[in-house]
């Protein structure tokens, strides 16, 4: 039988018996069939296509339009989106008062209801199928913001070993581990290595959710260490995390990396609060 027809029949049968639950509204829906979704290479300027690839798979038709990309004007340091959509990027009041340990933090999309559910499903329900399409969105943000930058190492924010054992995976590493295979075939290559062992978490902190800014800073303080300082000496590092809320976690990681001799630390997250 023709492979396309076979796939179509298989898809119709499987969606009839196993409808999807929409990640945004929680309703059951039948996923539309698309032959093109087999192609999973990203196209550098096409964030909308990566978002569509993700929403086609996990979001019902009526929730698809509710997606917000992080767009300028943003803070040149922490990446916060300014409420006024006019003018260019500039430093926000908070970063003027208290500069961060990293140089810039950038995010792909706004941390809305859909992204909250997507990340919670990946982290706590073990829906690791979400990692690759979410990773494509993150990769596009990487190409957009950091492809011109001189980077040496990419480091996913680590989990405490006990938590890693319990969960079985680091969701950030899952999202970025096969970036190289998703790059467009022509003219793109991966400029740096992903290292998941350089930065380690040595304190089992409680979840940052529900804590205010001061509590978050206190909770995360001194909870990371550098395995081998010579690995990061004079290096330009990109830290990757799933969500940027107050920035306390990535700022603490950046502090440790700078203390350990890193030249520059930047931050990329999948989502960001507004």
The Cα 251–Cα 218 span in angstroms is: 12
Site track for Zn ion across 147-186, x = CB under 5 A? ----------------------------------------
- For position 60 contacting Zn ion by CB under 5 A, the verdict is yes
Q: Compare residues 41 and 213 and give the one whose CB is closer to Zn ion.
A: 213
Alpha carbon 271 to its chain's center: 6
User: Is residue 63 a contact residue for Zn ion (CB under 5 A)?
Assistant: yes
Sole binder of Zn ion in the list 64, 69, 92, 217 (CB under 5 A): 92
CB closer to Zn ion, 27 vs 218: 27
Least CB distance to Zn ion at residue 66 (A): 8
Q: Taking the complex as a whole, how short is the minimal distance between the CB of residue 208 and Zn ion, in angstroms?
A: 18
Q: Is the dihedral of CA 96, 268, 139, 117 positive or negative?
A: negative
**Residue 141 Cβ, how far from Zn ion at the closest point, in Å?**
17
By DSSP bridging, strand 28-29 and strand 20-21 are antiparallel
Show the site string, 70-89: x = touches Zn ion by CB under 5 A, - = not.
-----x-xx-----------
Site for Zn ion contains 64 (CB under 5 A): no
| 254 touches Zn ion by CB under 5 A | no
d(CA 150, CA 158): 23
Question: Judged by CB under 5 A, does residue 243 bind Zn ion?
Answer: no
Q: How many residues bind Zn ion (CB under 5 A)?
A: 10
Q: Which residues contact 215 (CB under 8 A, 6 or more apart)?
A: none
- 3-state SS, residue 266: strand
Residue 268 pairs with which residues in a beta bridge? 106, 240
Within positions 17 to 56, which residues make up the interface with Zn ion, using CB under 5 A? Answer: 22, 24-25
Distance CA 247, CA 111 (A): 13
Question: Which window, 92-100, 189-197, 219-227, 240-248, contacts Zn ion (CB under 5 A)?
Answer: 92-100
> Residue 265 burial (CB < 10 Å; 0-12/13-18/19+)?
buried
Cβ distance 250 to 244 under 8 Å? Answer: yes
CA distances from 154 to 162, 232, 236 (A): 23, 11, 9
Applying CB under 5 A, which part among 5-13, 16-24, 245-253, 262-270 lies near Zn ion?
16-24
What does the binding site for Zn ion look like in residue numbers (CB under 5 A)?
22, 24-25, 60, 63, 75, 77-78, 92, 95
């Amino acid at each position: 039988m023709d492979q396309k027809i076979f796939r179509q029949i298989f898809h119709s049968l499987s969606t009839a018996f196993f409808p999807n639950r929409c990640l945004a509204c929680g309703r059951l829906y039948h996923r539309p069939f698309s032959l093109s979704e087999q192609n999973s290479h990203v196209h550098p300027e096409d964030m909308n296509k990566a978002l569509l690839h993700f929403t086609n798979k996990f979001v019902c038709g009526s929730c698809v339009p509710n997606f917000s990309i992080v767009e300028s004007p943003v803070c040149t340091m922490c990446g916060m989106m300014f409420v006024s959509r006019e003018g260019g990027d500039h430093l926000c009041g908070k970063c003027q008062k208290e500069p961060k340990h990293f140089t810039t933090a950038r995010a792909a999309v706004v941390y809305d209801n859909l992204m909250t559910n997507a990340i919670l499903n990946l982290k706590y329900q073990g829906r690791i199928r979400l990692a690759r399409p979410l990773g494509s969105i993150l990769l596009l943000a990487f190409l957009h913001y950091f492809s011109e930058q001189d980077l040496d190492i990419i480091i996913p924010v680590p989990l405490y070993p006990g938590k890693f054992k319990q969960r079985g995976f680091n969701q950030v590493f899952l999202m970025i581990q096969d970036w190289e295979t998703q790059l467009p075939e022509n003219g793109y290559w991966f400029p740096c290595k992903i290292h998941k062992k350089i930065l380690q978490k040595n304190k089992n902190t409680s979840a940052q959710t529900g804590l205010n800014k001061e509590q978050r800073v206190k909770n995360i303080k001194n909870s990371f260490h550098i395995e081998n300082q010579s690995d990061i000496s004079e290096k330009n590092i990109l830290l990757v995390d799933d969500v940027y809320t107050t920035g306390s976690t990535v700022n603490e990681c950046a502090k440790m990396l700078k203390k350990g001799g890193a030249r520059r630390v930047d931050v990329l997250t999948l989502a960001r609060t507004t």
